[in-house]
A and B are shown apart, each in its own frame.
Chain A
Amino acid sequence: MKKLLITLSVALLSYSGFAQSNALQQAVSKLDQAQTVTDLEQLEKTFTGISAQPAWLSSYYAALCNAKIGFLLQDDGEKIEPYSNRGEEQAKRAIATLDSAKQHKELAEAYTVLSMIYRTKVFINPMTYGRKYGMLSDQVLKQARALDAQNPRALYVAAWVKYATPKMWGGDKQQAKQLATQSLQQLGTPGTDVYPHWGKAEDQALLSKIK
């Protein structure tokens, strides 16, 4: 009887584990398609509720949703802050979950999203938030690239920054093009599993804006 119970509970546990990772996979696939703030808000809630392993991924994806919302709202400074604040917390939680000695690639992913989150804080009002968060965003992105120089998502964010920054503060459209192209090459045929694989659509969108 006791054995049976144990077996049963092990089975249940692994089933719930399976269900969780299944939920994560589903949410990630949905995220690949998400376009609007409403979609992303929904997904952020979903990711927050998922406890699948590896543990950092749910926080990572929740933060990514908030980063994307911030980019979509970049012309509506009044609304961004709550998303940025939540995203910052989630990205930092993802970083804290990771082993800084071993998981360099994963850390690079999380730092990349944190860098995007800081970028969204700049959108709140570049005059008041720009200097502090622009600087933080750059620094965090540097950390990401130091951990994984060829991370395609870090390359994409670097490309975006080069594209969006005015010339006199180091912006450079050609360099942006180069970085986005490099990012695309690294992406090759992106996977579809739960490990971060986004970036292709973003690279293409950016490249289409650069002549």
Chain B
Amino acid sequence: MKTITYILLLLSVSASAQNKPAALKPAVPVADSAIKDSAVNSTNVKADTAIKSKRSLHEVVISAGSFEASDRAKGASLTPIDAVTVAGSNGDISQALRSLPGAQQIGETEGLFVRGGTGEETRQFIDGTLVKTPNYPSVPGVPQYARINPFLFKGILFSSGGYSALYGEAMSSALILESVDLPEKTSASFFLFPSNMGTGFQHLSKNNRSSYGANLNYSNQSLYNSIVPQKPDYFSGPAYFNGNVNFRVRTGKTGMLKFYSNWGYSDVGMRNPDIDSAVLKAGYQAKGWNSYSNLSFRSYLNDNWKIDLAAAFSYNKEETNRDLSDPKGNMLKIPFIPYSYKTGQRTVRTDFAQLRAVVTHLFPQGQALRFGAEHFYTNDRGRSNDSALILADHLTAVFAEGDFYLTDNLAAKTGLRMEYSSALSKMVLAPRISLAYRLQDGSQFNLAYGVFYQQPGNDFLYQPNKLTFSNATHYILNYTRRANNRFFRAELYYKQYRDLVKTVPELSNNGKGYAQGIELFWRDKKSVKNLDYWITYTYLDTKRNFLDYPYQLRPSFAAPHTTTVAVKKFFQEINTSVNVSWAMAAGRPYYHISNNSIADQGNTNAYNMLNLHVAYLCSFFKNRKWKDFSGVAMGINNITGTRQVFGYNYSYNGLFKSPITLPATRNFFVGIFMSFGIDRTDDFLNNNL
């Protein structure tokens, strides 16, 4: 979980700083597929890069609305490792991406809040399949870890708007992730931090055509919490257990079959002072069982046809318990409002399955036509106190998309997506268009337009309803320039939200809203040797009327101004890498909404978060066969000890409010990690040269 990321983060930061990171990365498969992809034989090169190489005739590449981090990044473009190794990201890809423009600095919950959208409006896709629950079950006020190691990916496309018709069900943002192929070598690793530990291995077959691996991680924060006091009083955990297995097989000349399965358990139980009474404590416990499995296959059929197939299944069970206790610890049930709301149980089991097929036809000059279909099946069963929660939904989507070059410097991508949901009995059509125009000096203008539909959350569909899809229309204008290992990007956008879900006065799609803003990004790897930094600025103007908002308001998850800085430096002489991230955001609004009106409101203090990670890298065993790459890592989050306030909880009568803050002012970690790899450089080269 989070620690493994620290490790990789530190290792990889140092990797970027030098020219020969040959055997650097540890067991967990990181973005290293390039080796087999391109060296085993030349057809494989074609397999993965055909589109790109054909396209290199024209250098214009569609990129409005998205940040792409790829294992083929050049110059100052982001690599997957750049994107996920931001100090303070806790091993969560969506937290790491908060250092990019467009995302809000949300400290009280997990998820990626993009351009006036909620965390629910950003969806993650791995190899084409939707990851329904990327994080452990939510707990009020404390963000929960991600289940999936962010280093699993060789390609990360963070779209803050205007993404491809191949994806849907994400109104505000899509995180399109591509998992790694074969690992570079056989290896094993472990890490030990006081509250996190884990071990894993990857085995690569002798002929370099298949691999398998497994990882186990366990995290228990109770020891740490006994040393560093936390604001909630934890009576259980927080504990997280996670395992994953994978296999990957190269089939034929261009085929790749991959299987990844992740299963986990979590338990977080905590008590906070009850806001409506002086003496009572409010307890909350969330337990989760989850599995996510993904089987995917891609291959060229011949020079012009390519297929991508994927199937995913996930199971998720969440059990939450709320209770009230007196100072002696006796459980109470108080049968009147507001206390009657504070005790209860809820269990929901979700089965989710997806099948997906995409066919690509490549035309000369890098043009392409893609079309395909996917089907999502959701089945929820549960209980909330005494009422049953039931939902079954079949969502079918068909889509087509074309890449065209209108001239050498002008490219277009146009697509259309149709979705039908059985739970809503509705069909929708979503058009998408992007254009890219390349200027003489290599800089580029991009334009994008698209309509993005999303079903209301399952919670709204348990009760009888007449809901329909919510949707957002995006308009984006973007400018990028890359030169001399520097990268500048500016983006201007306007979005219109329609049919947002309202819960008051009754459940309906009468909500709406808008968002507009400008975002800047500057990265420079050149000016100072071995120093890599980026700076972003996000301006956001958004209002929406949804849920219980009495009218259109600036939502509580939207700050008008946000600035982030990420700095990475490797000190060669002392084998130490230093990674600093800093984020600052203007205050966010908060409201006390009562009886369909605003009883109280205000703005929180500005957010100001400085994180530092340091790693010392070394090698304990200098044996030739088993090289180890080890180190000591440490870090502090929120160094300055700023009291971050994310919002307020109000008492039922509205007379008291208590701030939602970090569970502890600062967060520390220190630990060691080791990775052993059989150095098979020679095998590899002998086979391939």
Residues of chain A whose beta carbon lies under 8 Å from any beta carbon of chain B: 75-81, 119, 122-132, 134-136, 138-140, 161, 164-171
Q: Which residues from B are CB-within-8-Å of A139?
A: 681, 685, 689
Task: Tell me whether B24 and A76 are in contact (CB under 8 A).
Answer: no
In angstroms, how far is the closest chain B Cβ from the Cβ of A68? 17
Given A78-B482, A127-B12, A128-B73: A169 and B18 interface contact (C-beta under 8 Å): yes
Q: Which residues from A are CB-within-8-Å of B15?
A: 126-127, 130-131
Would you call B624 an interface residue if the criterion is a C-beta within 8 Å of the partner chain's C-beta atoms? no
Cross-chain contact of A77 among B14, B19, B76 (Cβ < 8 A)? B76
Cross-chain contact of A134 among B21, B73, B572 (Cβ < 8 A)? B21
Task: Tell me whether A127 and B572 are in contact (CB under 8 A).
Answer: no
Would you call B16 an interface residue if the criterion is a C-beta within 8 Å of the partner chain's C-beta atoms? yes
Chain A residue nearest in CB terms to B20? A134
Interface centre among B31, B483, B485 (most CB of A within 10 A): B485
Given A75-B526, A122-B20: A128 and B79 interface contact (C-beta under 8 Å): yes
How many angstroms from the CA of A169 to the CA of B679 in the assembled complex? Answer: 14
Q: Which residues from A are CB-within-8-Å of B79?
A: 125, 127-128
How many angstroms from the CA of A184 to the CA of B681 in the assembled complex? Answer: 31
Task: Tell me whether A169 and B22 are in contact (CB under 8 A).
Answer: yes
How many angstroms from the CA of A123 to the CA of B32 in the assembled complex? Answer: 17
Chain B residue nearest in CB terms to A123? B19
- Total count of chain B residues near the partner, CB < 8 A: 49
Would you call B184 an interface residue if the criterion is a C-beta within 8 Å of the partner chain's C-beta atoms? yes
Task: Tell me whether B73 and A127 are in contact (CB under 8 A).
Answer: yes
Q: Which residues from A are CB-within-8-Å of B575?
A: 166-168
Would you call B345 an interface residue if the criterion is a C-beta within 8 Å of the partner chain's C-beta atoms? no
Tell me which residues from 289 to 343 in chain B have a Cβ below 8 Å from any Cβ of chain A: none
Task: Tell me whether A122 and B19 are in contact (CB under 8 A).
Answer: yes
Q: B34-42, B202-210, B391-399, B450-458: which one contacts chain A?
A: B34-42
How many angstroms from the CA of A81 to the CA of B52 in the assembled complex? Answer: 13
How many angstroms from the CA of A130 to the CA of B73 in the assembled complex? Answer: 12
In angstroms, how far is the closest chain B Cβ from the Cβ of A116? 12
Q: Which residues from B are CB-within-8-Å of A126?
A: 15-19, 21
How many angstroms from the CA of A125 to the CA of B482 in the assembled complex? Answer: 13
Q: Can you pick out 16 interface pairs between chain A and chain B where the beta carbons lie within 8 Å of each other?
A: A76-B484, A77-B76, A78-B74, A78-B483, A79-B75, A125-B77, A126-B16, A126-B18, A126-B19, A127-B79, A131-B35, A132-B35, A134-B21, A135-B22, A138-B22, A167-B575
How many angstroms from the CA of A161 to the CA of B18 in the assembled complex? Answer: 11
Q: Which residues from B are CB-within-8-Å of A138?
A: 20, 22
In angstroms, how far is the closest chain B Cβ from the Cβ of A180? 17
How many angstroms from the CA of A77 to the CA of B19 in the assembled complex? Answer: 13
Tell me which residues from 1 to 31 in chain B have a Cβ below 8 Å from any Cβ of chain A: 12, 14-25, 31
Q: Which residues from B are CB-within-8-Å of A79?
A: 75
Would you call B43 an interface residue if the criterion is a C-beta within 8 Å of the partner chain's C-beta atoms? no
Would you call B214 an interface residue if the criterion is a C-beta within 8 Å of the partner chain's C-beta atoms? no
Task: Tell me whether A136 and B685 are in contact (CB under 8 A).
Answer: yes
In angstroms, how far is the closest chain A Cβ from the Cβ of B86? 14
How many angstroms from the CA of A168 to the CA of B81 in the assembled complex? Answer: 20
How many angstroms from the CA of A170 to the CA of B617 in the assembled complex? Answer: 13
Q: Which residues from B are CB-within-8-Å of A125?
A: 73-75, 77, 79
Cross-chain contact of A131 among B17, B32, B74, B77 (Cβ < 8 A)? B32
Would you call B82 an interface residue if the criterion is a C-beta within 8 Å of the partner chain's C-beta atoms? yes
Chain A residue nearest in CB terms to B53? A85
How many angstroms from the CA of A127 to the CA of B570 in the assembled complex? Answer: 13
Q: Which residues from A are CB-within-8-Å of B619?
A: 168
Task: Tell me whether B685 and A128 are in contact (CB under 8 A).
Answer: no
Q: Which residues from A are CB-within-8-Å of B17?
A: 126, 166
In angstroms, how far is the closest chain A Cβ from the Cβ of B171? 32
